[in-house]
Structure 1
Amino acid sequence: MKTITIEGQLRTELGKKAARQLRSEGKVPGVIYGGAKEISFTATAAAFKPLVYTGEFQVAEVKVDGQSYKCILKDLQFDKVSDSLNHVDLLELVEDKKVIATLPLRLTGAPAGVKAGGKLIVKMKALKVKTLPKFLKESIEMDITNLDLNENVRVEDVKVENMEILNSPRIPIASIVMTRQLKQEEAEAAKGKK
């Protein structure tokens, strides 16, 4: 799995005034929690870019005060006006402690319904899972080769080992819908039979 290294400094002063001062210097305050203790740190906005502005699931290795913490992104806060990154919450990965993470969903294969003239509609791009850190992966793959016209695939159809999927099982992930042209062709074919 892809790991991004972020060099950070320990924050000594906490509070709004200190955070505002850090942001004016181009730094972003952050917190690492979930481990033995909570760590407040700061890093440059550029250091967070590869972790924040991506659709991929990645692990961040944050180096603060000579110590290294393996973390995943938990929450982000952006400025309402400038849309710049304001704060980052990271969750430390502890070997024997389960974590909740949102993993991207990769649909593979060419669906039979698309080959028959249908259109693939993707309704979900990620799944929320609960698992041990060692089972985390970049994405969850799902083969949709057998998906036919007017069929859909739901969360309950996803099979992954060592992970508990937290999304509702009946939510559709993707479906193949009939295109307008295919509907017209079927209607004309039905008229021709009468």
Structure 2
Amino acid sequence: MKSITINGSQRESVGKKATKALRNAGQVPCVIYGGDKPLHFSSPELAFSKLVYTASAHTVVIALDNGVEYSAIMQDIQFHPVTDKIIHIDFYQIFDNKEITMEIPVHTVGSSKGVMNGGNLRMPFRKLRVKAIPSKLPDFVEIDISSLKIGSKLYITEIGNEDYKFVHPDNTVVCQVRRSRLAVVDADDDEEEEDGAEEAAETAQE
């Protein structure tokens, strides 16, 4: 996974007056959790643009002016309700040998037969929660939709990876192709939908 370096200054004063003064100076108050104790620092708001205003996932190297660096991930961010300016960010410190959980973007590859026949591709999740050690975290989760026909569903258990695991129930639907009014349904699509209906009926009788 790609990493972004953010240069900052460690904060000694963390009261309301000091925090307000930082924001007035164009700085964003931040906290790093996960270590021995919370560490407070600040950085210019522009330093976070590549981290915040992107659909990609990144780890962060926070380089403080005292020469110390911390590897972390962004955990929470707060925006001003009127101006949308960043007013606070929480980070969580990460370690090479310790698993972390992070939301990773989903990318689709391939052409779905069901979509080409007029079906609608539905993706409930644009990001999936992935658990792994930092070096194994992917930049994105790739999903091949080539086999999806009208009525097909792709479950999270079908996109497993040895390097990481998903923090979602096994019955989570990652994407599906739903019938639309203009869809052209092939014979094998009909058979698949009928098989699914029969399975559902059998399950209900049990």
TM-score (norm 1): 0.88
55-64 or 168-177: bigger deviation: 168-177
Q: Which residue of 2 aligns with 1:167?
A: 168
Q: Distance in 1 between matches of 2:132 and 2:141?
A: 13
Does the CA-based 8 Å contact 2:117-2:184 persist in structure 1?
A: no
- Please give the residue correspondences for 1:12-27 in structure 2 after superposition, counting only pairs within 5 Å: 12-27=12-27
Deviations 1:64-115 (A, max 9, x none): 1211112111111111222111111111221111111111111111112112
The Cα shift of 1:179 comes to: 1.9
User: Could you say which residue in structure 2 is the equivalent of 1:7?
Assistant: 7
Task: State the aligned residue count.
Answer: 186
Aligned to 1:190: none
Identity rate, percent: 31
Partner of 1:142: 143
The residue type equivalent to 2:60 in the other structure is A
Give the CA RMSD over aligned residues. 1.9
Matches for 1:126-141 after TM superposition, within 5 Å:
126-141=127-142
> Partner of 2:182: helix, strand, or coil?
helix
**CA offset at residue 35 of structure 1?**
2.9
1:93 aligns with 2:109: no
Report SS of the residue matched to 1:182.
Answer: coil
Amino acid at match of 2:79: F
Measured in 2, the distance between the counterparts of 1:134 and 1:91 equals: 16
Shift of residue 171, structure 1, vs aligned partner:
2.4
Unaligned runs of 5+ in 1: 187-194
Separation (CA, whole Å) in 2 of partners of 1:32 and 1:84: 20
| Residue 35 of structure 1: aligned partner | 35
* Counterpart for residue 60 of structure 1: 60
1:155 CA displacement: 2.1
Give the match's secondary structure for 2:170: coil
Whether the aligned pair in 2 keeps the contact of 1:98 and 1:133 (CA below 8 Å) is yes
Task: Return the alpha-carbon distance in structure 2 between the equivalents of residues 33 and 142 of structure 1.
Answer: 33
5+ residue gaps, structure 2, are 188-206
Greater alpha carbon shift after TM alignment, 159-168 vs 57-66: 159-168
Mapped to 2, the partners of 1:100 and 1:115 lie a distance apart of 35
Displacement of 1:3 = 1.8
Counterpart in the other structure of 1:47: 47
- Preserved CA contact (<8 Å) 1:121 1:174: yes
> Alpha carbons of 1:142 and 1:97: their partners in 2 closer, same or farther (altered >3 Å)?
same
How many angstroms does 1:183 deviate by?
6.9
Shift of 1:161: 1.6
* 8 Å CA contact 1:35, 1:94 repeated in 2: no
CA deviation profile, 1:32-90 (whole Å, cap 9, x unmatched): 12234432100000001110111100121110121111211111111122211111111
Counterpart-to-counterpart distance in 1, 2:113 and 2:126 = 21
Q: Report the Cα distance in structure 1 between the residues aligned to 2:172 and 2:97, rounded to whole angstroms.
A: 30
